[in-house]
Amino acid sequence: MELFDIGPWVAFSALAVTAAVFIAAIVYFVRSAPPTTITISSGPDGSNYFKIATKYAKILERNRVKVNVLTSKGSVENLSRLLDPKANVDVGLVGTGPATPDADKLVSLGSVSNQPVLVFYRGKSLTLLSELKGKKVSVGPEGSGTRAIALAILALNDIKPGEVEKTELLDFDADDAEAALKAKRIDAAFVMGESATPQIMKSLLRAGDIHLYSFKQANGYSRKLEYLHVLELPEGTINLGQNLPDRDVTLLGTTVEVIADHDLHPALVDLLVEAETEVHSRPGLFQRRGDFPAPTEHTIKMSDEAVMYFKSGKGYLYRNFPFWLASLLSRILVVFVPVLLVTIPALRSIPAFFRWIARLRIRRRYRELRILEQRYLTEKDAERRESIRREFDRIDENLHRMKVRASFADQYYGLREHIDYVRRVLDRRPV
């Protein structure tokens, strides 16, 4: 049995497809929501990295995003956690350093500060770091960026672990290094803000028999190790009253970056860059107002969303609505508006499509009718003409079995009337 117009199976199929599309949209809508909790790997408790991460946490929590701040040994451990799926770390503070394996799995959310490499030493004035051969030197604990950079700098002076007789490279953390220097148990220590508190660095600067090394060959080091740059610490910058430091000091430094998993939700990228701006845009010892944050790309590619934020700022929705509402509206625009724009015209076109199919079927019957009429009128053989008459009857019988919607009743009855008309014309024709 043929069916004109839309039958139940067509309507059911259309509804099923529409329902499936909306269910898929709802699933995507739910899964595309930004997470309400993220984890930041920082540095040792009380370190500069830890304080930065804590400030970020307070800013994000204003937007209903909870932040778990993990302590760590420093940049190297932060990178290791970011690359380890089992660690469940979303963001880490990392000082620029040697090229990172699997860097394509990570993105940078921008540079946020300069971080000096401080070398404190005891005894007579130190001109070249090669003079540390045969000494006891703290290079920082395993997993810290301090250790990685200290070993790279010392290697340029032919001081390598196990290769220089009587030189001891010790893995003290900042607290132990401070105590050991003051107790004269070691001769020098590399210290960086990622793992040392400001109090430790100020304490070492104030110690009368401990000195801050000034890199005489700073430009040479920055050529050899491209992730290092030259920083200047003018006399009295830390404390004018106490004249700390008591001379101009040339330092080497790295850039601190906020590194994230490449799958971090775009809405959270915007929130984090906003937090960076709030925390780091003020002037400091090694930066002027507005120097940071900056979309400077080092060994890890910048996030596309972060680059867009640095260029254009917050999007319209996030600029004018609370974060949770802006996120909701953004997902509605991304998910449901395109679905509606596609499904509504598609559903409206289904009846038109099937009306076209129905008209095509009726026209086909008219074409058959016309062909049979021409054959009958030109056929001379009576037996063949009778066979053609039976084909008329077959068409009429098929029409009787057709299930026709009310919207096609006029065309259906018009076709039957025309069949009867042709039959009457043929009946009047003499055999």
DSSP 207: -
> Residues 79-135: pLDDT tens digits?
999 999 999 999 999 998 877 778 889 999 999 999 999 999 998 889 999 999 999
Query: Residue 250 forms beta bridges with which residues?
Result: 232
> Per-residue pLDDT for 29 more than 50?
no
Q: What pLDDT was estimated at residue 229? A: 94
Asked whether 250 and 135 are in contact (CB, 8 A), the reply is no
Q: Please give the helix or strand (H or E) that residue 310 lies within, else none.
A: helix 304-312
Q: Which residue has the higher pLDDT, 56 or 312?
A: 56
> Per-residue pLDDT for 174 more than 50?
yes
Asked whether 214 and 251 are in contact (CB, 8 A), the reply is yes
| Exposed e or buried b per residue across 279-312, where buried means at least 16 C-beta atoms within 10 angstroms of its C-beta | bbeeeeebbeeebbbbbeebbbebbebbbbbbee
Cα separation, 218 vs 25, whole angstroms: 57
Q: What is the chain's mean pLDDT, rounded?
A: 82
CA-CA distances (angstroms) from residue 232 to 20, 53, 115? 63, 26, 12
Architecture of domain 37-314: 3-Layer(aba) Sandwich (3.40)
Asked whether 303 and 276 are in contact (CB, 8 A), the reply is no
Average pLDDT value for residue range 293-306: 89
* pLDDT grade for 387, boundaries at 50, 70 and 90: confident
Cα separation, 30 vs 24, whole angstroms: 10
* pLDDT grade for 18, boundaries at 50, 70 and 90: low
What are the structure tokens assigned to 47, written together? 């370190």
**Residues, the chain:** 431
CA-CA distances (angstroms) from residue 430 to 213, 385, 419? 125, 12, 19
> Per-residue pLDDT for 28 more than 70?
no
Q: What pLDDT was estimated at residue 3? A: 43
Q: Which residue has the higher pLDDT, 368 or 224?
A: 224
> Residues 138-170: pLDDT tens digits?
999 988 889 999 999 999 999 988 766 678 999
Q: What pLDDT was estimated at residue 104? A: 87
CA-CA distances (angstroms) from residue 269 to 57, 196, 261, 265, 335? 14, 28, 10, 6, 20
Question: Within 104-144, where are the H helices?
Answer: none
Within the chain, all domains assigned CATH 3.40.190.290 are found at 37-314
Which of 298, 299, 311 lies closest to 270, judged by CA? 311
> Residues 418-428: pLDDT tens digits?
777 777 777 77
Q: Which residues contact 382 (CB under 8 A, 6 or more apart)?
A: 431
Asked whether 150 and 177 are in contact (CB, 8 A), the reply is no
